A and B are shown apart, each in its own frame.
Chain A
Amino acid sequence: MNLQKKLIVLFKNSFRNFNIILLITTLLLVFIGIISIYSATGGTANEIFIKQIIWYFIGLFVLLIFSNINYNNLITLANYLYYFFLFLLVLVLVFGYVALGAQRWLRFGTFQFQPSEFMKIIVPLVVIRYIIIKRDESWTLKSLMKIFLITLIPMLLILKQPDLGTAIIIIPLVLVVLFIGNIPIKKFILIIIILILIIPVGYIGLKDYQKQRLLVFINPQADPLGAGYNVIQSKIAIGSGKFFGRGWLRGPQSQLNFIPIKYTDFIFSVICEEFGFIGGLFVVLIYYILIMEILKIAKLCKFAGGKMLAATIAMIILVQFVINIGMTIGLLPVTGLTLPLLSYGGSSILFIMIIIGIAQNIYREYMKGEEI
């Protein structure tokens, strides 16, 4: 075989056994993302819109790469990744770029990078590795304390930025790893009870603006011009979409800037105003199918590590999806977590594409095993 043919085979191989449902839902979300960002930024080919499209392309490419990296390698390398990203988090605190009152970004030229985003998958990876090595000994008090420490250190660094949203969602992710790692159910319930008892202690440590957000969540009318404004306007936008919506680029709430930060945190409000209940339902169902498909991959996979990893990935998407949409429809407080693949933002898109790529790889490794 000559080089050309070799390359063609390599190229073909890198697309083999893709999970079609996962691929279609991903591409659909990218498509919805493009049209809603276009609308949310005023209906012109502006800088934000172009940047987002570039990010989608980079993201899809990264997805392809990660779907070709055996996930077991990621689990093996987890510790190194963990230390490296801890280092980056410390760098952020020292040199980070400050925006919107928080220090979350590292800057290389014009490129901004948010290491905390990637901790959401790296911490579970480390825990998975630990459980695979320790097997049944993972559930002793000593091991659990170690897992607790592994989780706590990056959480504290992220809280310091401060980025409450990202820090908090690491907890359910680690819980899912433990759960699918077959932790005895009694211990699992005990851990959850302890976590619930810690909540009031955590509240005291919150920054004033975070407390305010929680209070405003409980009663949005308390500050209708400030923090409560976003949620009230978002609800008006969504509600006024009714069944069929106002039509693309025709939502007055979105187009007249009633909804703040609408192309990041409140993108779902724009979709619901312009495409109505039908549009909202469609988006929610796509996420549902995407998450269920990843859970199916977790079910299919023959190895404990793959199962835990796939379940974690499903949970990341679920948590961000629920928290973000819950916020726009006034069910949950405003946290600043993005809507996977739809919100504007490079780090966020890249991250979701990477974890979907990993899920694809788990599926492909399974299919490889079936073929033999």
Chain B
Amino acid sequence: MAKDEIIDNIKNIYKRFIRIIFLAWIVSFFVVVILIRLFYIQIIKGDYYRKIADSNCVNIVKIRAPRGYIYDKNYKPLVINKATYQLSIIPYYFKKNQDITKSMSEIARIIKVSPEEIMEKLKESREYILEPIVVKRNLNEQEISQLEEKAIEINGISISQEPVRFYNYNSLASHIIGYTGEISLNQLKKDKDYYPGDIVGQTGVENFYDKELRGKDGVMYILTDAFGRQKEIIKTIAPKQGNNLVLTIDYNLQKYAEKIMDENNYSGVIIASNPKTGEILCMVSKPDYDLNYFSGTIDIKEWKRLIRDKDNPLNNRVVQGLYSPGSIFKIVVGSGGLNEKVIDTTTSFLCEGIYWIKTWPYKCWRRSGHGYVDFYRAIAESCDIYFYKLGLKMKVELLYKYAVMFGLGEKTGIDLPGEKAGLVPTREWKRRIDRTPWFPGNTVMMSIGQGYITATPLQIMNIMAVMANRGYAMQPFVVKAITSENRRIIKLTEPKRLFDIKVSEEVINIMRNALRFVVQSNRGTGTKARIKGIISAGKTGTVENPHGETHAMFAGFAPFDNPEIVIFVLIEHGGSGGDVAAPVAGNIIEYYLRTKKQK
């Protein structure tokens, strides 16, 4: 027994000995591999790497990828690129100049900026002293020729080509397209895919689809001599242009809509969409701005003017503007009242032009009053007092239920950045924010879409879209497809149902007929939206606001039986909805249906 154990023990010791020797061989193997590799890099390829390092070295220069183009729905190019020249300085070589202040002021004189500004930019480079810093974009021909002369005597400056955005139609659809600009520090922190100096979309689809549009930057390895002059390009990895966007926008319709706004000097919103798919056909937000200001370097003065303008030309009112929905909200209240059987079509209320709650007067827009009005007349003639009384019967809870059902207070999820959700107030909300209870007066205001309730134009249009579709709304979108070169489609946007309303079909039919009367009956408020030969429907709105004249609104759809277009027009401080907004809407619907038939 003991003998076996000893033999076992010896076997074990021997086994362990062999295994340690084996480990030693593994160590030796790795050391040999490393030494061979070192020998290969340092001795065999040594000259090659020395050359790269010496000529110091390889400058790695980024070649900016051209952004993708943006087309309208018929492939009419709205945004393309054009080449511009830019001046950059490589700090490491630039500091080798004998007289830096002199060369600095010479450059500054040519490109017409202050030498301090250049100094600032040089300081920003910190330890990346071999990376070129862009001092001025968008050089003109005179500047280029003068700078090229100087480049011979001044070290470390270079002129390179770069694609910048060019907008064929200046301000057309500027809010949908959006402007581009150098990436901000905040954006850099949020997304690791970007580098300092990258040009990114700041608003509109340029921003929303930036990852698609930006493409893939190329790289150039340039041998430079000890003075920073470029000698030889060792290797180029070509940039890849970004993908293109095809918008749902119809160029002609957009132009027509913008022309109407411009001719009358209106500020406000026009949106039209195809109710069945959610495609936005045109989207106008006035005032707007010329996109070409932003390509290359924007003039500081121009930028400040845009930022400070009280009319907020940079704001896309369609998704960022919050308005009281006004009388258009009566569609929601009316549907709710009918659906909850608070009223039926024969219910009548007396309108005397003024309605008193205790000592507070609430007026109807028609001061003389409508007399006894039934449901159809209340919608067609937009009687306020009818809805005050209906709203008080429904109470704020039911108003809230139906407002939310019609998509208010919730973002539509359109493919544009910065969309707002709007507000649908409740008792709890008011107690929390205002620290006061909900008064009947609040209900009265809310039942005609005024007071606390706010919505974006897009949401207001969706109320009409629900009516057009007999009970549901599609999610609005502005990009129809993402394509690469040769119109090869990469991704097609699938229309998506946004919400359904839980209102009986009968109620929807009643409401649709009432909306038809608004336009078609002679006593309706929207008669000026009538179009020859086509039956359309809609609802006017005239919204009181603290800043002055009322906002004029009109939302509508056509043709009545099989709607192809739903439209919302808002003219800020325009006056009455029926007089100002309705004719604009009528014109656009007519233009759209007529041009569509021609194709």
Contact = CB atoms under 8 A, between A and B. Distances in A.
Interface stretch (A33-41, A138-146, A232-240, A357-365): A232-240
Given A256-B92, A277-B43, A182 B38 contact: no
A63 interface: no
Contact of B42 (A225, A241, A288, A318): A241
Nearest to B53: A240
Contact of A284 (B35, B62, B129): B35
A240 B23 contact: no
A128 to B, nearest CB: 13
A273 B526 CA distance: 82
Interface string A280-295: 1100110110011001
A331 interface: yes
A298 B34 contact: no
Interface in B13-45: 15-17, 19-21, 23-24, 26-28, 30-31, 33-35, 37-39, 41-43, 45
Contact of B24 (A242, A258, A295, A326): A295
Contacts, number: 128
B13 to A, nearest CB: 9
B404 interface: no
A304 interface: yes
A253 to B, nearest CB: 6
Given A240-B46, A291-B27, A284 B195 contact: no
A295 B38 contact: no
A329 interface: yes
Given A252-B53, A280-B38, A311-B20, A225 B30 contact: no
A307 interface: yes
B54 to A, nearest CB: 7
Contacts of B39: 277
B23 A314 contact: yes
Contacts of A203: none
Interface string B34-77: 11011101110111111011101110101000000000000000
A159 interface: no
Nearest to B192: A209
A29 to B, nearest CB: 15
A70 interface: no
Contact of A224 (B17, B127, B219): B219
A170 to B, nearest CB: 17
Q: In the complex, which of the residues B48, B57, B237 has the most CB atoms of chain A within 10 Å of its own CB atom?
A: B57
Nearest to B195: A225
B133 to A, nearest CB: 16
A179 interface: yes
A322 interface: yes
B12 interface: yes
**How many A residues are at the interface, by size bracket?**
35 or more
B126 to A, nearest CB: 10
A329 B34 contact: yes
A284 B34 contact: yes
Contacts of B49: 235-236, 238-240
A272 interface: yes
Contact of A299 (B17, B58, B127): B17
Contacts of B372: none
B56 A318 contact: no
Interface in A295-315: 295, 298-299, 304, 307, 311, 314-315
A92 interface: no
Contacts of B12: 182
A180 B16 CA distance: 6
A239 B56 contact: no
Contact of B23 (A256, A257, A315, A322): A315
B37 A236 contact: no
Given A239-B50, A240-B46, A252-B57, A299 B20 contact: yes
A254 to B, nearest CB: 10
B130 interface: yes
A182 B15 contact: yes
Interface in B254-296: none
Contact of A311 (B15, B23, B34, B129): B23
B128 interface: yes
A291 B28 CA distance: 10
Nearest to B41: A239
Nearest to A228: B219
Contacts of B237: 221, 224
Interface residues of B, number: 47
B24 A292 contact: yes
Contact of B20 (A240, A272, A307, A325): A307
Contacts of A322: 30, 34
Nearest to B11: A182
Contacts of A280: 38, 42
Contacts of B47: 242
Contacts of A315: 23
B23 A331 contact: no
B41 A238 contact: yes
A238 B50 CA distance: 9
A57 interface: no
Q: In the complex, which of the residues B28, B39, B53, B127 has the most CB atoms of chain A within 10 Å of its own CB atom?
A: B53
A288 to B, nearest CB: 5
A236 B60 CA distance: 13
B31 A288 contact: yes
A176 interface: yes
Nearest to B28: A288
A329 B52 contact: no
A216 to B, nearest CB: 14
Nearest to A224: B219
B43 A242 contact: yes
A243 B41 CA distance: 10
A225 B239 CA distance: 13
Nearest to B46: A242
A70 B170 CA distance: 82
A253 B43 contact: no
Q: In the complex, which of the residues B21, B30, B47, B130 has the most CB atoms of chain A within 10 Å of its own CB atom?
A: B30
A286 to B, nearest CB: 11
Contact of A243 (B27, B43, B52, B62): B43
A340 interface: no
Contact of B16 (A209, A236, A304): A304
B35 A281 contact: yes
B175 to A, nearest CB: 34
Interface string B77-92: 0000000000000001
A239 B45 contact: yes
A209 B192 CA distance: 10
Interface in A171-219: 176, 179-180, 182, 209
A242 B92 CA distance: 25
A240 B38 contact: no
B229 to A, nearest CB: 17
Interface string B92-131: 1000000000000000000000000000000000011110
Contacts of A318: 26-27, 30
Contact of B41 (A229, A285, A295, A329): A329
A96 interface: no
Interface string B209-222: 00000000101000
Nearest to B42: A277
Given A284-B38, A326-B34, A256 B129 contact: yes
B35 A180 contact: no
A295 B92 CA distance: 49
A257 B128 contact: yes
Nearest 3 pairs of A and B residues by beta carbon: A239-B49, A240-B53, A242-B46
Given A242-B46, A277-B46, A314-B23, 5 more contacts: A243-B46, A253-B53, A253-B57, A288-B28, A298-B20
14 contacts: A179-B23, A180-B23, A236-B49, A238-B38, A239-B41, A239-B50, A242-B47, A252-B54, A287-B31, A307-B16, A307-B20, A315-B23, A329-B34, A329-B38
Interface of B: 12, 15-17, 19-21, 23-24, 26-28, 30-31, 33-35, 37-39, 41-43, 45-50, 52-54, 56-58, 60, 62, 92, 127-130, 192, 195, 217, 219, 237
